[in-house]
Amino acid sequence: MDKRDIFVQIDQMEEQMGTLYAELGEIKRQIIELLEENKRLGIENQQLRKLLKKDAEPLLPMLQAAGASVPVSMKETTGEGYDNLARIYHEGFHICNVYYGHLRTEGDCLFCMSFLNK
């Protein structure tokens, strides 16, 4: 093996290491951007949940007036999903598995009401 070949190989290895180092830096930058975006979206999600909870509180009396009995324990432990379904039902759409998403044209749906009473 010639001395010159050794130096050529070392130069090639240095170039490869430089390229890998640049790629590593780019990946690190992308990870930082993703972490920042994740944090920002988490904060935004919390704020939206607070707004949704504030908007959903008036819906419970309306559901009770419509005939849906909501137990006290359920009022305290209901999650966002239940609140969203109650809101969708109040807006006039089915939430039952039979007609989910279809417009309610004939008043209350027994399937939806039984689902809300669970």
Q: Is 94 annotated as a binding residue?
A: yes
Q: Confirm or deny that 96 is annotated as ligand binding.
A: yes
Q: According to the annotation, is 82 in a ligand binding site?
A: no
**Residue 102 marked as a ligand binder:** no
What span, in angstroms and rounded, lies between the C-alpha atoms of 8 and 16?
Answer: 12
User: For 108, left (φ over 0), alpha (ψ -120 to 50), or beta?
Assistant: beta
Contact between 89 and 95 under an 8 Å Cβ cutoff? The reply is yes
Torsion 27-29-31-34 (CA) sign: negative
Q: Rounded distance, CA 94 to CA 98, Å?
A: 8
The DSSP letter of residue 93 is: B
Which residues belong to the annotated binding site? 94, 96, 109, 112
Which residues belong to the annotated binding site for Zn(2+)? 94, 96, 109, 112
